[in-house]
Structure 1
Amino acid sequence: MTSSALDGVPHAFSTREELDLAGILPDGVLVRVRQVHSAHVVFAQDAMATAPEADAIVTDRPGLLLGIVTADCAPVLLYDSEAAVVGAAHAGWRGTVSGVLENTVEAMQRVGAKPERMVAVIGPTIAQASYEVDQAFRNRFTAKEQARFFECGRPQHWQFDLPAYAAHRLGEAGVGTIEDCGEDTYTQPARFHSFRRATHRGEETNGRQLSVIGLR
């Protein structure tokens, strides 16, 4: 699946179906990192024979297809068309709290991008109605964040809005256009892998979606 907000730049969010990478960016080279739920961002100049530990990638080099994998966390693809800079971020709650999205925006700025020109699209991720958390989890957030991004659930539990929180952090970083595709990974087993759903069902948890973006 793709987003109209990113028209003109090669990109896609996978479902359970594998992406046709050659169709997205012919002769493109997939660049991946070893994701560790951090706020670390790397700049890709080439294919990177050894994948570094990071949770976001930025490049201004044509021919590289930046890829991140998710299975409930938020995949975020970013683009500044004027500067010809792209970024891909794995925004789980840990990385988002730690600043992975702000760090991605800053890394893009270092090669000429400007936040107000950037387009950021949040791909398939777990929705608030599907994301139950306990009080200890909620306590990791500020009082204002608790009021805005958590709704009451069953006793001593809350529903956390990860895509809205990611959009908020992107907005705080100055990103000009932010779009949420609005696809809940948890409630669509025929379309998406979901780590939480698989855990609840006692199923294999190794399925992942791949999200990619690159420059021609």
Structure 2
Amino acid sequence: MWLTPDWPAPASVVALSTTRSGFAGFKGVSTGPYEGFNLGDHVADSPEAVAENRDQLLGACAGLASIGWLNQVHGTDVVTLAQSRVAVPSADASISNVVGLGCGVLTADCVPVLFCRRDGTQVAAAHAGWRGLCAGVLANTVQAFNCPTNELLAWIGPAISQAHFEVGVEVYQAFKTGFVGPESADIDAAFKPVAAKSSHYHADLYALAKAQLHSLGVGWVGGAQRCTFAEADEFYSFRRDGVTGRQLSLIYIKS
């Protein structure tokens, strides 16, 4: 079954993160390293299998007419979705005020963040790998809303946990010099030195994302705290498996 946030959003807003085990009545038709409910169409899975998985998701989501898929590039661009478009945009976040048009991001370790206004009139989804997170994709998504930041809710979906995300010193230095918002002490606390390796750290992407969202004044911040790497039966993980599928974090205003 998919994950849903326990948050103070209005009933008109639907938010979820899928798992590789699908949902009640449908376990997904992907096979091999993509086995289960793979929704990524860029990972060499069978196009027919991905299309079937996507069609089944659409049919299972009440009040959802379409999903604004993105070509994710680990950047910071945010696109405003519209019903009519001729191509899939290259961006790592989307925002919508169109009823039935969902914002979604695909992940397999990176941090997905779903946003909505408290009044339910706008929703957004952002994909934050460490590069996009450090460069400001979450900040740009918050800025794309036409309301004060304290009227926003943000829910962080499943991502790789600190224990399994080892990075080099260059990642730590990138956050220390380029991450806007959090205090230096908050950044330091998110990087735990690896005892057996000099200049290597275990990075806590959850903590970094939350620290930035709080610094931006987002009114409510929460998350699933589920590890894509550790929970192999439930989640795809690129760092664990290399060749693998993708889960989707999705939010929409239902019709």
TM-score normalised to structure 1 length: 0.90
Contact 2:64 2:102 in 1 (8 A): no
Aligned residues: 208
1:144-169 superposed Cα distances (whole Å, 9 cap, x missing partner)? 25412101113222100001101111
The aligned amino acid for 1:212 is L
Contact 1:12 1:24 in 2 (8 A): no
**How many Å separate the matches in 2 of 1:172 and 1:49?**
37
Contact 1:34 1:54 in 2 (8 A): yes
Structure 2 residue aligned with 1:167: 210
5 Å-filtered alignment, 1:41-190, equals 41-82=78-119, 84-109=121-146, 113-142=147-176, 144=184, 146-153=187-194, 154-156=196-198, 157-190=200-233
Query: How far off its partner does 1:27 sit?
Result: 4.6
Structure 1 residue aligned with 2:247: 209
- Structure 1: gaps of 5 or more residues: none
The aligned amino acid for 2:69 is R
Query: How far off its partner does 1:72 sit?
Result: 0.2
1:99-136 superposed Cα distances (whole Å, 9 cap, x missing partner)? 11111011112xxx331011100000001011111222
1:17-55 superposed Cα distances (whole Å, 9 cap, x missing partner)? 247333323352111111000010001122533111100
**How many Å separate the matches in 1 of 2:220 and 2:208?**
15
Query: How far off its partner does 1:178 sit?
Result: 0.3
Contact 2:128 2:138 in 1 (8 A): yes
**How many Å separate the matches in 1 of 2:76 and 2:174?**
16
The aligned amino acid for 1:32 is W
SS at match of 1:179: strand
Inter-CA distance 181–209: structure 2 relative to 1 (3 Å threshold): same
SS at match of 1:183: coil
Query: How far off its partner does 1:4 sit?
Result: 1.4
**How many Å separate the matches in 2 of 1:172 and 1:37?**
22
**How many Å separate the matches in 1 of 2:187 and 2:4?**
31
SS at match of 2:19: coil
Inter-CA distance 14–121: structure 2 relative to 1 (3 Å threshold): same
Contact 2:96 2:102 in 1 (8 A): no
Inter-CA distance 135–213: structure 2 relative to 1 (3 Å threshold): same
The aligned amino acid for 2:74 is H
Inter-CA distance 138–210: structure 2 relative to 1 (3 Å threshold): same
The aligned amino acid for 1:36 is V
Alignment partner of 1:20 is 2:57: yes
Contact 1:31 1:47 in 2 (8 A): no
**How many Å separate the matches in 1 of 2:103 and 2:176?**
32
- Structure 2: gaps of 5 or more residues: 23-36, 38-55, 178-183
Contact 2:94 2:124 in 1 (8 A): yes
**How many Å separate the matches in 2 of 1:146 and 1:79?**
26
**How many Å separate the matches in 2 of 1:82 and 1:15?**
28
Contact 2:187 2:208 in 1 (8 A): no
Query: How far off its partner does 1:7 sit?
Result: 6.0
